[in-house]
């Protein structure tokens, strides 16, 4: 009889435990899922959202942004997410495959865009929004990153009013770090012996315009464009005339042509972080957009021989 009573008590205990376990799951708060197409947008969302959102990169870490093609599974995850933050400005041509929804935010609409001028040209200061050809690398402009942070914070508040104070606080902290970054660029790039940078494709148009130096790219705005012998010869002339000692290529892009150019002219070669994406190893270490921008600043000050 005692065994029967004990068995009933044990079964009752597990029944009660199971009830409360299921009840807890049913009331557990869920956080909205945010998808982002580029690392810069992902980084803002992570810093502003904190634990109150689940931020996911659409393009896997280590994959070159220009060549990415979404799978059906990726498209479904985008459409199911509470918000999809994408760069726009023709950076993601695969966007046309998606059914446009209210959860999709083209972030290029909220920043100052630089006209896509000729190879090596520097921005003339005229900014615009619209469908004309623009330089898509706008996230490397620290001022634009501040605008993006403000917009993303507002979008999170609209999505989750209960945590408004947290989103506003985190956005302010991130913008403060961006302000410090901008001051570092202004200070360290002010006095430089060389004010010309040669790199594979022009990711530095916004940076060059803001901090007053020139960019000479091998292939213009597109990393897939082919360089001709005339361009190689022209850049060799600039290297000699300007006393350039370091050439740059970008992470995720083949350095073959830049290695050839560097070898022919007896100069160094290094890479810059485009920050449209980062490697899986960098993601594991917790590298941020701001970390990457400081890495670029160190390399630019060395190449331009800044005081």
Q: Is 2 a member of any domain?
A: no
Average pLDDT over residues 58-85: 92
Final residue belonging to a domain, choices 134, 154, 185? 185
90 and 168 in a single domain? The answer is: yes
Return the axis-axis angle of helices 229-242 and 256-265, rounded to nearest 10°: 50
pLDDT of residue 67: 83
Q: Is 256 a member of any domain?
A: yes
Final residue belonging to a domain, choices 185, 220, 241? 185
pLDDT at 278 over 60: yes
Q: Is 193 a member of any domain?
A: yes
pLDDT at 228 over 80: no
Domain membership of residue 110 as a residue range: 33-185
178 and 246 in a single domain? The answer is: no
pLDDT of 89-139, one tens digit each? 999 999 988 877 889 999 999 999 998 765 443 333 333 333 448 999 999
Q: Please tell me the total count of domains within the chain.
A: 2
Q: Is 5 a member of any domain?
A: no
Q: Is 20 a member of any domain?
A: no
CATH assignment at residue 113: 3.40.50.1980
216 and 229 in a single domain? The answer is: yes
226 and 262 in a single domain? The answer is: yes
Q: Is 172 a member of any domain?
A: yes
Q: What are phi and psi of 84, to 5 degrees?
A: -120, 110
68 and 144 in a single domain? The answer is: yes
pLDDT at 294 over 60: yes
Final residue belonging to a domain, choices 155, 185, 215? 185
130 and 204 in a single domain? The answer is: no
pLDDT at 287 over 60: yes
219 and 144 in a single domain? The answer is: no
pLDDT of 163-191, one tens digit each? 999 999 999 999 999 999 999 999 999 99
């Amino acid at each position: 009889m005692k065994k029967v009573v004990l068995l009933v008590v044990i079964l009752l205990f597990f029944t009660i435990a199971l009830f409360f376990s299921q009840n807890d799951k049913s009331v557990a708060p869920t956080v909205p899922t945010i998808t982002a197409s580029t690392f810069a947008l992902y980084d803002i969302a992570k810093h502003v959202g904190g634990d109150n959102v689940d931020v996911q990169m659409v393009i896997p870490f280590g994959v070159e942004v220009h060549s990415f093609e979404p799978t059906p599974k990726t498209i479904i995850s985008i459409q199911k997410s509470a918000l999809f933050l994408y760069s726009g400005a023709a950076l993601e041509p695969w966007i046309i495959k998606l059914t446009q929804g209210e959860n999709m935010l083209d972030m290029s609409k909220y920043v100052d865009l630089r006209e896509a001028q000729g190879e090596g040209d520097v921005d003339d200061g005229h900014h615009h929004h619209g469908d004309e050809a623009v330089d898509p690398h706008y996230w490397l402009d620290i001022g634009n990153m501040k605008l993006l942070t403000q917009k993303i914070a507002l979008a999170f508040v609209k999505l989750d009013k209960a945590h408004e104070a947290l989103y506003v606080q985190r956005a302010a902290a991130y913008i403060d770090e961006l302000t410090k970054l901008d001051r570092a660029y202004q200070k360290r790039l002010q006095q430089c012996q060389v004010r010309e940078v040669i790199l594979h494709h022009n990711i530095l148009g916004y940076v060059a315009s803001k901090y007053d130096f020139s960019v000479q790219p091998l292939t213009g705005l597109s990393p897939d464009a082919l360089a001709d012998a005339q361009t190689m010869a022209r850049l060799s002339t600039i290297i000699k005339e300007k006393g350039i000692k370091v050439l740059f290529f970008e992470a995720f892009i083949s350095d073959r042509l830049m290695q050839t150019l560097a070898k022919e002219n007896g100069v160094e070669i290094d890479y810059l972080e485009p920050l449209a994406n980062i490697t899986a190893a960098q993601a594991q270490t917790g590298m941020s957009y701001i970390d990457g921008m400081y890495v670029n600043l160190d390399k630019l000050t060395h190449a331009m021989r800044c005081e």
